Amino acid sequence: MAKIKKKGTSGQAKNFITRTQAVRKLQISLPDFRRLCIFKGIYPREPRNKKKASKSSTPNTTFYYTKDIQFLLHEPLLRKFRDQKALAKKIARSLGRGEVGDASRLEKNHAPRLTLDHIIKERYPTFIDALRDLDDALSLLFLFANLPSSAHVPPKTIALCQRVTHEFQHYLITTNSLRKSFLSIKGIYYQATIQGQDIMWLVPYRFVQRVNGDVDYRIMATFVEFYTTLLGFVNYRLYSTLGLRYPPKFDTRSDENGAELAAFTLEGRSVGEAPKAIEANKQTNKTSNQEVSREVQAKVDKVIKTAGLDRTKDEQVVESTEEASDAIDKFEPTAPEADTLPQPDLSIDQAGSLFAPFVFYVSRETPKAPLEFILRSFGCTRIGWDAVLGDGAFTHDETDTRITHQIVDRPSLPESSLPAVPAASEDAVQKVRPGTRIPGRTYVQPQWVWDCINDGKLLRADLYAPGATLPPHLSPWVKPSRGGYDPRASLAEQEEEGEAELDEESGSDEEMEDATDDKKAEAKEESEAESEDEDDINGGMDVAETDEDESGSEEEEEEDEDFGGFDGEAASESEDEEEAARTQHQKELEAEAAGLPFSSGGAAGEASKKKSAQAKKIASKKRKEEEELERQKMMMSRKKRKLLEKMMYSNKKQSDEAAKLRSKRRKLEKGEKGGQK
Amino acid sequence: MNASKLSKKRKAVTRDVEEEAGVFSGNELNVGDINGALSDNANELSSDEEDSEVELIDDFSDDEDEEEEEELDSDEIPSDGEEPLKKKAGKPAADLEVPTNDESSSEEEAEVNFRIEKDANGNDRYIYDEINPDDNSDYSDVEENANTIGNIPLSFYDQYPHIGYDINGKKIMRPAKGEALDALLDSIEIPKGFTGLTDPSTGKPLELSQDELELLRKVQMNEIPAEGYDPYEPLMEWFSNKQEVMPLSAAPEPKRRFVPSKHEAKRVMKIVKAIREGRILPYKPPSEEKEESLDLVSFDLWADEAERPDHPMHIPAPKLPPPGYEESYHPPPEYLPNNKERKAWEEADPEDREQEYLTTDFGSLRKVPGYGEFVKEKFERCLDLYLAPRVRRSKLNIDPESLLPKLPSPEELKPFPSVCATVFRGHKGRVRSLAVDPTGVWLATGGDDGTVRVWELLTGRQLYSVKVGEEEPVNVVRWRPGKDAVVLAAAAGDDLFLIVPPILDPELEQASLELMDAGWGYAASKPAPKASEEKKTTPPQWVRPSSALADSGVCAVIPLRYVAKSISWHRRGDYFVTVCPGSSTPASMAVAIHTVSKHLTQYPFSRRIKGGGPPQTAHFHPSKPILFVANQRTVRAYDLSRQLLVKIVQPGARWISSFDIHPTSSTASGGDNLIVGSYDRRLLWHDLELSQRPYKTLRYHRKAIRAVKFHPSGRYPLFADASDDGSLQIFHGSVTGDMLSNASIVPLKVLKGHKITGELGVLDLDWHPREAWCVSAGADGTCRLWM
């Protein structure tokens, strides 16, 4: 007889371990376990069968792989954690005894330093792996770089985050590897391509972040600790591939003056340069702090140029694959039914030369940091701004004649409405009255910059003139999909056959209602929320009813024809509903006729009749299609049918969404036309 | 003499202390005797010392006072074990010596210096004279009692009571010593453990054992009283300065043993002083530069990067999706929510919202506020990264259309009934049954009101009505197939009626009447059933109807005695089979076959069909002489010509309501096809060639299926079922000619229109013989023509 197998010794029961068990096994506290998991990238797993995996009857448990925990057991950090715990005990003891000096000494000198180098190497064996996982790191670090310092977030951490992110931005500027950017509600999205890896991150707008109570900063700080180390190593690697010295020179003085990006000075590393020389440089760096930021800027420019040369040389030697040919040929499909393969849309050269010939001046009201970053990454080297925005500008003088483009973001107000500028303004730079236009330069709104880089070409600046209604700002990442809605394409291209007519028919009443609703709402302003409520409800009801009305004449037929024999109960119910709705609608129609005279009549009646006939035809066709589908479904096996229904559901959701957008647009377009008439 | 005296004395003492005085006296008295004996011994000195001693003793015993000696001996035996042994050994020795003594005596016969005496045994005993040494002897001047043993150590005599011999060869007895006293004391018999004390508790003499005495002694001597204790054992150094490989105890040296070094203390104090004065900094604070430099990366981590194969269990964190148009600060206007959507979003719980933000158009960048949930969102992302289990889900990225089976399009399958063309109203109560006549002109119906009505099919005009049942409903109506005559069979109550409705053109009516009348003659000519045959199961005789009925067209009445619920005509129109499914019907009379030409009724089954309850319905095979009879659960096929059970079909339904046989069965090369409807909502398609079990089970009705019917002509591969849920379903079921492919069934249409009254919907249906039209009888009292 075979040996009786003991329960819980093999299979899922052995492969999975609950969190409590894991913590016990590692003999560390839960917060330490959390930190360790974050550092090591260990995440819980979902067992295929929870009941088999857990030994207890408690249903809600987190499971880890036993082997993952086994792996954590060998982590050198564990010892550091224990040291930390021991130190914490010592500090607590000396504090208890009132030996504050002792405690501070212990804390200062004996705190074990965690080094995450080995973990980074372990988690990202190759540099590409690290680049691939940089999305979250950048987003979080950019957030922390913009956070105010608090008890949870020490200024040191913020400074470190700022430093690494600026260094990273400098790399992107140098290599022109920023590709896309998008102004969203949440913040500014950027996408860069480094060594073939697309990295996307989100930078918040510069406002003080609202912090809710339910945010645990310890967890975030752990992530930040890991990410700063990671980004530091990535930066080192990126800089060294360019032949630049890392870390770049950091001018604390200009940083204090708000130079931000300009506080860094990139330096090339010559072949013979030894680490000693770097140290010497450091010392000189300190002494040369007094230099004017403009000079620094000039230096930066110079270095960037040289670095660019370096890079091209390097790449010719090392990475010939990435830049084998200068420009990629555009492949155009010759036949419409063929698949189109995605192609990189912007090469480095194009990106590097987009804004190269221009001199920009950034007005005070525009966000300097993102604009500077983007302009620089797309080849612009001469950017001026107001002195209040900080150091590092090409010029602080708004009247500088070299300026070709000025980015402004203020409404164009008539001259008279502007408050008078104080006559005696000593400030030499602040000579220009806000709102005045200096001839010889192009005034654009900030969105122009983003739209230009996303399109990869310079757009018409007059569309983005100050005070003008901007064209919609579109996300560069949305690819037009089949059945999806694309705002770029015209409505006629993407709508289904006869959809417009159908929609018009059904929508006419609704629209009316909506319009009146809106009008009422506007008229009433914020008078009573209740009335608005009612209106809304009415509108909603009407939508349903009009639909019914449209197909009302065919209702009978539909009832007869519909092959919905399987949900007959529902059908009968809906029948009742329909009937009720119809009568109600009749009443409403009467009321409407009494109150609001219906505009459509006479000559328009004929056209509408025709249209309605067409709509009817389309509707019946649709119904037929549905019937056919039902028939086909009947012949499928249950399993397949379920699968199909699932797929249909998601597809339908998408297409419904698209249809909704189309109908909205149709309405808008109609409204516009009406307005034009 | 002193010595000898001493020896004598000792001897005596050793022997017997009590008779010391006597011994002394005796010794004095018997000197001569003793001497004589001694001399004897002296001669033999060389031979054996022991012997001599023995002799001596013998002498003592013999010569002096034997009685005493014996007495002594007897006394001595327990105390001294040595002596008796010696005595025993001595005796033979003495005997042996006798001859030697004789020889010597013979040598010295010349000068006889002895006298022969008789000893106690009567033997000769030589008693020598004392030797009188001359004056010229060297020993003359020697003291008489001096020891003569010569230059040998005295210790040789340690074992003996004497210490040598005097000049006369007499033993010089060892002078008495303390030991002698001891010996005396030893010799005194005292009880073991005698102490001389009295045990105060018992009053008896206190006796102590040897051990106790020993103990006492040790105590007295200040020794350790324990037995076998050696106070001076050789020292084993268990704990020494030597480092053992396996020490007895590995306990560390206790601190109490530590003696601090005064020198060190001095030096420490020096340092302490220096620290106090600030000359030495105990902890050098790390310079800030150093600290900063620790943060800086100063080496390339991926200098020697090596790709590692991805672990199959590792799932990288999914990236966040890129933002869509609706996230733009200035989106296209169609993405903006209208009032309703905005309201819905605001009212929804933050967790339920599909988007965490509300799409808003800010118009220009300066108006964009900070996003309040930014930190929270990032925090949640962090939580997801380390807390959310990751699962790989394979997303099926195929066109859902490809899953759909390829069906012939409805256009190809046309025509089939889809709309209600005519409604036949007139029946009061339910319409139970209907039938379209073989020409396709009339529709016959029978209902709960007991009337049989004939309608014009296309117009819905009622042509003819006859009330055949008084109270009973008309359960079933069926036209006779064939166009040569028009006969309608109807079952109402216990009777069957054969009707020739008077709506025909006269020739056809005449032909029909003739057909019906022909049988009367046959029935009459046939002999009446014999008495023996007249049993309960006697087939009924056809009778002429009452005049009222006859006027209205009824030609013949068959009193079946039980309620028939099913009528089915044979293809040629001469036979029809009726089934009375009632449970009270005797088994043999449930199924009856009627012959129109002979006006004859037969009961083909004498016994109840096994298994599955009473028979429900029966049909003739369209081409073969086979009768299909369905009971509640099975359908059985009987070969009428051979009178055999051919096949049993098991649809698996609980209660079969109806079935139909495909009209082209067995005419086309394909096998028989059968559809079965059941009260448990199933419609089953049977291919009899395939299996007894259904080929397809269709469950599209929510209520019981009442009737199923194939289209009677082979032109349209249609079939339909009528259900209590008020709907008819039309299917396309084409039977292919070849054996390889199975029948293909395609659902086509659900026809709704009948109102459900009293849980009943559509009770019967029939097809038009040529067109793809069908007629249904509803419980709502109407019939509908669908075309």
CATH of the domain at B757: 2.130.10.10
The answer, yes or no, to whether residue B362 has pLDDT greater than 50, is yes
Task: Give strand pairing partners of B474.
Answer: B492
pLDDT of B289 reads 63
Residue B519 pLDDT > 80: no
Mean pLDDT of all residues in B735-742: 65
Predicted confidence at residue B150, as pLDDT, reads 83
**Contact yes or no for A463/A427 (Cβ under 8 A):** no
**Amino acid at the residue A459:** L
Q: List the single range of B522-526, B578-582, B650-654 with lowest mean pLDDT.
A: B522-526
Q: Is residue A424 part of a domain?
A: no
Measured between alpha carbons, how far is B786 from B771 in angstroms, rounded to an integer? 11
| List of residues 6+ apart from A184 with CB closer than 8 A | A202, A475, B323, B327, B328, B329
**A256 and A122 within one domain:** yes
Residue of B nearest to A117 (CA): B301
Asked if B418 lies within 8 A of A561 by C-beta distance, the reply is yes
Let me know whether A250 and A388 are in one domain. no
Q: Which range, of A33-37, B11-15, B186-190, B512-516, averages the lowest pLDDT?
A: B11-15
Q: What confidence tens digit (pLDDT) does each residue in B242-286 have?
A: 888 888 888 888 889 889 899 999 999 999 999 999 888 877 766
- The Cα–Cα gap between A398 and B778 comes to 91
Q: Provide the pLDDT for residue A286.
A: 39
Residue A304 lies in a domain: no
Q: Are residues A144 and A193 in the same domain?
A: yes
Structural domain includes residue A490: no
Q: What is the side-by-side strand order in the sheet with B554-559?
A: B474-479, B488-492, B495-499, B554-559
Low-confidence ranges of chain A (pLDDT < 70): 1, 270-349, 413-435, 496-608, 674-677
Q: Is ipTM strictly over 0.90?
A: no
Cβ proximity of B735 and B688 under 8 Å: no
Question: Do residue A236 and residue B374 have CB atoms under 8 angstroms apart?
Answer: no
Among the ranges given (A652-656, B46-50, B419-423), the one the predictor scored with the smallest mean pLDDT: B46-50
Query: Pairing state of beta strands B696-698 and B683-687?
Result: antiparallel
Q: Considering CB atoms only, which of B296, B365, B747 is closest to A183?
A: B365
Number of domains chain B is built from? 1
pLDDT, mean of residues B501-524: 80
Distance in angstroms (rounded) separating the CA atoms of residues B11 and A631 = 151
Residue A472 with chain B: CB contacts under 8 Å: 325, 328, 330-333
Secondary structure of residue B443 in the 3-state scheme: strand
Positions of E strands within B350-494: 420-425, 431-436, 442-447, 451-456, 462-467, 474-479, 488-492
- Confidence (pLDDT) at B42: 41
User: Whole domain around residue A36: which residue ranges?
Assistant: 12-110
In B30-124, where does DSSP find H-type helix?
31-43, 49-59, 66-79, 82-107
Note whether B657 and B687 are within 8 A (CB).
Answer: no
Whether A140 is in a domain gets the answer: yes
Residues of A in contact with B302 (CB under 8 A): 121, 124, 126-127, 130, 233, 237
Residue B9 within a domain: no
More confident residue, B416 or A31: A31
Whole-angstrom distance, CA of residue A172 vs CA of residue A175: 5
Residues 6+ apart with CB under 8 A from A169: A261, A373, A377
The Cβ-side half-sphere exposure at A446, using a 13 Å CA radius, reads 28
Taking CB atoms and an 8 Å limit, are B382 and A219 in contact across chains? yes
Total domain count, chain A: 3
- Residues in chain B within 8 Å Cβ distance of A648: 400
Q: What is the CATH number of the domain that holds A410?
A: 3.40.50.10190
Structure tokens at A184: 């969203």
**A-chain residues within 8 Å CB-CB of B369?**
205, 207
User: Which residues between 409 and 448 in chain B have a beta carbon less than 8 angstroms from any beta carbon of chain A?
Assistant: 409-410, 418-420
A404 and A454 inside one domain: yes
Nearest to A249 by CA among A312, A313, A293: A293
Q: Which residues are registered as beta bridge partners of A65?
A: A16
CB-based contact B334 A665, cutoff 8 Å: yes
Asked, for residue A504, whether it belongs to a domain, the answer is: no
Distance from the Cα of A533 to chain B's closest Cα (Å) equals 9
What percent of chain B shows pLDDT beyond 70? 78
Range of the domain at B668: 410-525+537-786
How much is the pLDDT for A570? 42
Residue A672 tokens read as 């516009």
Domain for residue B75, yes or no? Answer: no
Q: How many CB atoms lie within 10 A of CB B96?
A: 11
Q: Do A568 and B727 touch (CB under 8 A)?
A: yes
Output the CA–CA distances (angstroms, integers) from residue B320 to A183, A204, B317, in the order listed: 17, 16, 9
Q: Residue A304 has what pLDDT?
A: 57
List, as ranges, residues 362-391 from A with C-beta within 8 Å of B: 365-367
pLDDT value at position A300? 57
* Structural contact between residues A483 and A654, judged by C-beta atoms closer than 8 angstroms: yes
Q: Report how far residue A25's alpha carbon sits from residue A27's, in angstroms, rounded to the nearest whole number.
A: 5
The answer, for B286 touching chain A at a CB cutoff of 8 Å, is yes
Same domain? A77 vs A128: no
Contacts 24+ apart (CB under 8 A), B90-96: B90/B50, B90/B51, B90/B54, B90/B55, B90/B57, B90/B58, B91/B58, B93/B48, B93/B51, B93/B54, B94/B51, B94/B54, B94/B55, B94/B58
Would strands B656-661 and B644-649 be described as parallel, antiparallel, or unpaired?
Answer: unpaired
Contact A351, A176 (CB under 8 A): yes
Name the residue among B357, B386, B747 with its Cβ closest to that of A37. Answer: B386
CB contact at 8 A, A432 and B315: no
* DSSP calls for A248-279: PEE-HHHHHTT-GGGGEE--B--TT--HHHHH
Q: Report yes or no on B761 lying in a domain.
A: yes
In a domain, A172, yes or no: yes
- What's the CATH number where A73 sits? 1.10.1660
CB within 8 Å of B712: residues ≥ 6 apart? B663, B767, B769
Q: pLDDT grade, residue B92 (50/70/90)?
A: very low
Q: Which amino acid is at A452?
A: C
Bridge partners of residue A204, in order along the sequence? A187
- Tell me the count of A-B CB pairs closer than 8 A: 295
Identify any residues that bridge with A405 across adjacent strands, giving them in sequence order. A360, A442
Is some CB atom of chain B closer than 8 A to the CB atom of A117? yes
Q: Do A108 and B285 touch (CB under 8 A)?
A: yes
Of B371, B378, B385, nearest to A205 by CB-CB distance is B371
Residues B359, A130: C-beta atoms closer than 8 Å:
no
Residue B205 placed within a domain: no
pLDDT digits (tens, 9 = 90+) for B222-245: 888 888 888 888 988 877 888 888
Provide, rounded to the nearest whole percent, the portion of chain B with pLDDT above 90: 7
CB within 8 Å: A126 and B378: no
Q: Give the three-class secondary structure for A328.
A: coil
Across-strand partners of A187? A204
Q: What is the mean pLDDT of residues B74-80?
A: 44
- Is the whole-model pTM more than 0.80? no
User: Which residues on adjacent β-strands are paired with residue B649?
Assistant: B635
**Whole-number Å distance between alpha carbons of A669 and A491:** 9
The angle at the Cα of A303, spanning A297 to A306, to the nearest 5 degrees, equals 150
Closest residue to B403, CB basis, from A216, A634, A640? A640
> Which chain A positions have a beta carbon within 8 Å of B364's beta carbon?
409, 411, 445, 447, 470
Inside any domain, residue A259: yes
Are A260 and A166 members of one domain? Answer: yes
The pLDDT score that the predictor gives to residue A342 is: 53
Mutate to test the interface with B, among A68, A182, A242, A631 (most CBs of B within 10 A): A631
Yes or no, beta carbons of A409 and B365 under 8 Å apart = yes
B35-38 CB contacts, 8 Å cutoff, 24+ apart = B35/B130, B35/B168, B35/B170, B36/B127, B36/B128, B36/B130, B37/B63, B38/B168, B38/B169, B38/B170, B38/B171
Which residues 121-160 of A are in CB contact (within 8 Å) with B?
A: 121, 124-127, 130, 132-133, 135-136, 139-140, 143, 147, 160
- pLDDT for B209 equals 83
Band of residue B204 on the pLDDT scale cut at 50, 70, 90: confident
DSSP structural state of residue B228: T
The A residues from 205 to 224 touching B (CB cutoff 8 Å) are: 205-212, 214-216, 219-220, 223
| Inside any domain, residue B558 | yes
Of B779, B677, B778, B782, the closest CA to residue B720 belongs to: B677
Closest residue in chain A to residue B331, using alpha carbons only: A472
- Asked, for residue A16, whether it belongs to a domain, the answer is yes
Report pLDDT for A181. Answer: 93
Q: Which of A426-440, B75-89, B431-445, B533-547 has the lowest mean pLDDT?
A: B75-89
Contact list, B752 vs chain A (CB under 8 Å): 559-560, 565
Residues of A in contact with B748 (CB under 8 A): 631
Domain end point (choices A235, A265, A295): A265
- Cα B399 from Cα A483, distance rounded (Å): 12
Site of tokens 């975030």: A220
> CB–CB of B492/B473 below 8 Å?
yes
Q: Is B727 on the interface with A (CB under 8 A)?
A: yes
pLDDT tens profile B286-338: 666 666 666 677 888 898 888 888 888 888 889 999 998 889 999 988 888 88
Q: Measured between CA atoms, how close is B651 to chain A, in angstroms?
A: 20
In the chain, the amino acid numbered A340 is: T
